[in-house]
Amino acid sequence: MRYLLCVSCLILLVVGCGKEVQEAAVEKKIEEATGGEADVDFSDDGMKITGETKEGEYAITAGEEIEIPEGFPSDVFIYRPSEAVMAMKVPEGYSVTLITQDDKAEVVEAYKREMQEEGWSEEGSMNMGSHSMLMYEKDGRDANINFVPSDKGLQINVIVSTD
């Protein structure tokens, strides 16, 4: 998912510029990196980036009142209560970032239980103290769930390949 890394880095590069300058700079960098078109919109509520490359369409949203992308696999657990703060759909899959105030151990156990109930096989896990990761496989798809503390609560990053 090179788009994930590319776009994240580009956004950080233009922080501090005016809105129109930010949008134009990010659009140009994304288009150079992907060889496709990009449309960037920064608002007071967040940002939305959409575009298309030869691999397909992509969309990235971040900020307030983010929704889970249309087409997100229904067999991938989304923890509740949580708030989506970032969502990405790229040709290779999806990425969603959630924030919850619940205890990490409780959230990790919920993912283990719910992913298994949906038929996902746990391929690995890592517990690095405050950070944890779960890795799953099902029908040739991969799902990685990362749990990271943040100043807003427990951040849950769900990345799913659709290939």
How far is CA 37 from each of CA 54, 58, 70, rounded to the nearest angstrom? 10, 10, 21
Domains along the chain with CATH numbers: 1-58 (no CATH), 66-163 (3.30.310)
Q: Sign (positive/negative) of CA torsion 97, 80, 143, 151? A: positive
Tens of pLDDT along 92-133?
999 999 999 999 999 999 999 999 999 999 999 999 989 999
Rounded distance between C-alpha atoms, residue 84 and residue 53, angstroms: 26
Torsion, Cα of 130, 96, 101, 79 (10° steps) = -100
Q: Which residues sit opposite 48 in a β-bridge? A: 41, 61
- Predicted TM-score of the model (pTM): 0.81
